[in-house]
Amino acid sequence: MAKRIVGVDIGNTSIRAVELLDPTGANPTVERFHQVPLPEGAARSGDVLEVHTVAAALKRLWAEGGFKSRSVALGMGNQRVLARDLTVPRMPLAQIRESLPFQVQEMLPVPVGDAILDFYPISEAETDQGPVINGLLVAAIKEAVMANVTAVQLAGLNPVEVDLIPFALTRVHMRGDAGRGTVALIDVGSTTTNVVIATNGVPQFVRIIPGGGDEITSALVQRLGLTTEVAEQAKQSLGILTAGVAPEHRPAIEVIYEQTGQLLNSLRNTLNYFVTSHPDEQITRIVLTGGASKLRGFASALGELTRVSVDTSDGFSGVRLSKSPGQGGGTSEGMTIALGLALGGAA
């Protein structure tokens, strides 16, 4: 029997899930997807704050969405997770993981006992000190991971994998020919922006930037005295395009432009850092995803600032869909993180 797994993406205002049939096969199939709302304050940037509230939402998600599998792949990707370059002597992966607590304390913002550590190998090389493996150290705050896992268990589900969200996004948007060359994948969410630079689909560099679309909305509320609803509408309708803007809209445009400029500069600096530290790998294009990336003028501004061509991606184009995968409600837009988690959860 083909294996099934459900990728679960816990956001600020909703939980999204995608059930995948035969996730490790040549043609994985999306069987169903669904989302349910979360009460305000139950989770923030992927961290579960109210375990029992999130568990109740997960039970509702399974009941409404009709998911058959109870095996769940979860994702982490916020300021409580880091990924950094790490080179270690060549040895079996299990031994590398066992040795991490003794060699990475200086790289961590917390005591090593408070973190969950993993190593993602990228390449091998020969040095004067002998053979080495180049890779990425992935570290997450243990408390944050366990809160998410506990919520899933309280809902009667089986967490089989906790994955890095940037890796999940790479699986979705850089499948096959889409991942050829050195590509920067930038996913702009409501509170977090994920940057993954991959060569031929293999992640080489990961940065998780705190900040996204919600910061623009909050600035409009605080500086112009708008309600959150009106601020969100202004953000979506105006964007950062200044041509032909009526005078009464200029204060809002200035706030949006200023906040967006900070994120754009951070993205440019991040890409420049990669190019400087990896002189043999030049970024050929940017793949832009995430709900906040749809801000009017954002893609063109990013391309002008970085001088790299910017494309968008339909995350579901690389998988097959069953006849009615959304029969429980919802649409595929915004489901790409859950899809990527499912793709990696059965590996």
Report the C-alpha gap between 343 and 336 in whole angstroms.
Answer: 10
Residue with the bigger pLDDT between 187 and 321: it is 187
Topology match between the domains 4-79+142-177+314-343 and 210-312: yes
Pairing of strands 29-37, 14-21: antiparallel
* Across 135-148, average pLDDT: 94
Nearest in space to 216 (alpha carbons), one of 187, 246, 238, 185: 238
Distance of CA 124 to the CA centre of its chain: 27
Distance of CA 5 to the CA centre of its chain: 19
* Across 13-33, average pLDDT: 88
pLDDT tens-digit map of 170-210: 998 987 787 889 999 999 998 899 999 999 989 999 999 98
Q: Which residues pair with 183 in a beta bridge?
A: 198, 285
State residue 332's pLDDT score: 63
* Across 257-267, average pLDDT: 95
Domain 4-79+142-177+314-343 has CATH 3.30.420.40: yes
State residue 3's pLDDT score: 87
Q: What is the pTM of this model?
A: 0.89
Report the C-alpha gap between 44 and 69 in whole angstroms.
Answer: 26
Confidence check: pLDDT of 346 > 60: no
Report the C-alpha gap between 17 and 8 in whole angstroms.
Answer: 5
Distance of CA 62 to the CA centre of its chain: 23
Domains of the chain, residue spans: 4-79+142-177+314-343, 81-141, 210-312
Q: Based on the number of CB atoms within 10 Å of its own CB, is 304 exposed (0-12), middle (13-18) or buried (19 or more)?
A: exposed
Fold (topology level) of 210-312:
Nucleotidyltransferase; domain 5 (3.30.420)
Backbone φ and ψ of 263, nearest 5°: -70, -45
For 345, the enclosing helix (H) or strand (E) is helix 336-345
- pLDDT band of residue 90 (cuts 50, 70, 90) is very high
Report the C-alpha gap between 321 and 16 in whole angstroms.
Answer: 17
CATH class of 81-141: alpha beta
Specify the long-range contacts of residues 37-42, CB closer than 8 Å, at least 24 apart: 37/13, 38/10, 38/11, 38/12, 38/13, 38/14, 40/13
- Residue 223: CA count within 13 A, CB half-sphere: 14
Confidence check: pLDDT of 249 > 90: no
